[in-house]
Chains A and B, each alone.
Chain A
C-alpha cells in the first residue's frame, strides 16, 4: 500500500507492506524499517520501532490526517490535494477573513495603491482587533465588505492585484 502525504513543504511518501509475522515493513524517503503496530482504539495507535514504543493519535478530518505525537499535532494532506501551495508562492490576491468576526474599519478604497505592510481592514474577533495587511505592493481591485459587517472565516474581504503600475 502506497500513501503520499504532504505536510507544508514536506512530501512524505509511505509504503506499507504487512509481513507474515504481523509486523509491517514501512518504507519512507529515509529507508525501510520493520514496525509493529497495534490499534488501541479507533483513534489510538501504538507503534514499536527498534524496540522503542511510540503512541500516536490519528484523526481524520476531511481529506487530512491529524496526527498527535509527543505533544505536537501534524496535519498531513494527501499529496494530490490541489490546495497545496509551494513555499514562496505569490500571496493570494483575495484577502480573506482569518476567522469569523466583525469588520471595524475598511482602510482602503477600490483603485488605491498599497505598499507592503499597509493595513487593509481591521477585523474584531474574540474581543481583539486584528489588522489585516497587504503582503506586497498592490492595487485594490475590489472591496467586498463594509464597516460594521459580520463576516465568516474565509470570507473574501478585499481583492488585490500585486505589483506596482508602470
Chain B
C-alpha cells in the first residue's frame, strides 16, 4: 500500500492527504470540473478529473472514480466521509479492482447502511434500540395507522440515510402524509433509495456518539464519546468531548454498547456508533457510521490518537497497538463547523466567492479547511468551509478559546454562521452544559446578527476609502480599477494552508 486515492473533496480530502504524506504514502486526488483548482487537488501529488460538477456525475460515479484510481496507479482508496464512504457497492468494487479499501468490510457497511438490518443486528447483540416501525406500509392510510400506533411525535428517516437528509419530524397525524412524501423524495434524491421508516421521537434528547477503532484481527477499542447535540436541520454544528452531561455510569453503558455494536458486524477500521440519550439518561442505538466522522478531530485532541493514521495502519494489516489504559482522555475539546450559510434565513446556503480569508491561529487551535481565498462555494456540494476545533485543560477554557478563535476568523464574500456560533457558545445554557437537540430551536430560533459595530464598520469603510484613494477614485465608483493588489487578492501567497 503506497499510492492512496482519496475519493473525496474539501477539508477531509486535504486532511487525509496530509496524513498520507506524514506516513510516507503518496496522496492522489479526484476532482469534478468545478474543483480543478480546489485546495484538495493541490494537496495531492497527482489528480484526475472524474466528471462534471454535480456529484452524481463525478464524486458519486463509481466507474469514474475507479478509472481515476487506475489512471493514477493507486493501490488503495480512502473514501473520507459522505459521497461513497458508506456505499457497500463502491467498497466491493474497490476490492474487485484489486485495491485496498481503507475502511470496514463490505458486509459491515451493508448491514449498518440498512437502518432496519442495523437495528436488528445490534439489538440481537444486546444493544438497546429506539422504538420504531421498520416496515412502513406503502399504502398511505396504513402508514398513518402505523404512525398512530407508534405514538407522536415520530421521526421519518431514510433507510439508506444520514446527515439529516430525508428526515422529518411529524408531531401529529395531519402532517404525516405530506412529510412522508417529502422525506421519500429527499431520500430518493440523496441516496437513490426511497425507503423510509419511523422512529419514536424524543423531544429533549441528546445526541451522543462513541468512536471505535477495530483491527482486522478482532481487537476493538473505544475512544470515548462525543456530545453532538447542537444541531440545525438535524445536522451537527458544535461537538465536544467529553460530554458535559454524561455520568461515569452512562459512559460505561454507551461505550460497552458501542463496542458490542461494532463487534456484531465484525467491524474493522474507524467507526462511530451514534446514540440518542433521553432526558432520563436512557441510551438508544441510532446508527453506526461506518467511516471517519466529520467531528473526529475532537477525539484526536483528547486521546492523542490520529484517526486517519490509525485507519492507514489498520488497512495495512497492523494489529491494534492501543489498549483501553492508553486511551485515558486528557482535557476538553470543542469543534464547530463553519458554514457558508445564513443563520438569520433558516440556515440557507450562501454560495459565492470567498474574497478574503483569515483563519485563526494559536496554541490549541486547529482549522481543517477546504477552501482558500479566491475559492468559490458552489451550489453543488455541502457548504461547509471548515471545521474549527480547540483543545484546553477544561471545558470552560476550551469554550473561551473557541470563542476567541471565532472572533478572529474573517471570511468575507459569503455569509457565514460564525457570529451565530459565537452566540451558541456564549449562551448560558451552553455554558452550563445543558445541551440537547432542540437547543437552537429553543434558545436561538429568531436569531439575527447583532449590529453593535455597524457605525464602527462605516467609519472603517470611510477611512479605508480615504487612505486607499487609488483603489476607489474615478470611474463613478462603479468598478474598482484592476490594481495588481486586487488581482493578487484572489490568491493566497505560499499556497494552501
Contacts and interface: CB of A to CB of B under 8 A. Distances in A.
A42 B349 CA distance: 29
A31 B457 CA distance: 15
B454 A59 contact: no
Contacts of A72: 418-419, 449-450, 453
B460 A69 contact: yes
B399 to A, nearest CB: 15
A43 B412 CA distance: 11
A135 B383 CA distance: 27
B117 to A, nearest CB: 24
Contacts of A122: 182
B188 to A, nearest CB: 11
B194 to A, nearest CB: 14
B326 interface: no
A37 B419 contact: no
B459 A28 contact: yes
A138 B381 CA distance: 35
Contacts of B478: 63
A5 B464 CA distance: 13
A110 interface: no
B453 A100 contact: no
B482 interface: no
Contact of B413 (A61, A65, A126): A61
Interface string A42-61: 11010100000010111111
A16 interface: yes
Interface string B462-497: 111111100110000110100101100100000000
B456 interface: yes
B453 A126 contact: no
A54 B457 CA distance: 10
A26 interface: yes
Given A1-B466, A72-B453, A74-B451, A99 B460 contact: no
B463 A127 contact: no
Nearest to A102: B189
A68 B412 contact: yes
Nearest to B178: A119
B406 interface: yes
A59 B186 contact: no
B411 interface: yes
Given A74-B454, A99-B349, A67 B461 contact: yes
B464 A45 contact: yes
A43 B489 contact: yes
A129 B456 CA distance: 38
Pairs of residues from A and B, 7 with the lowest C-beta to C-beta distance, nearest first: A74-B457, A56-B460, A67-B457, A71-B407, A12-B458, A14-B462, A58-B464
Interface of B: 165, 182, 185-186, 189-190, 233, 345, 348-351, 355-356, 358, 379-383, 406-413, 415-416, 418-419, 422, 449-451, 453-468, 471-472, 477-478, 480, 483, 485-486, 489
25 contacts: A16-B465, A16-B466, A28-B458, A30-B455, A35-B463, A39-B464, A42-B483, A43-B489, A47-B459, A47-B460, A58-B461, A59-B355, A60-B471, A60-B472, A66-B413, A68-B410, A68-B411, A69-B460, A70-B453, A71-B419, A74-B454, A99-B348, A99-B350, A104-B185, A126-B382
Given A61-B413, A74-B453, 15 more contacts: A3-B462, A7-B457, A10-B451, A10-B454, A37-B467, A41-B485, A42-B489, A59-B355, A67-B461, A68-B410, A76-B457, A124-B186, A127-B186, A129-B186, A130-B348
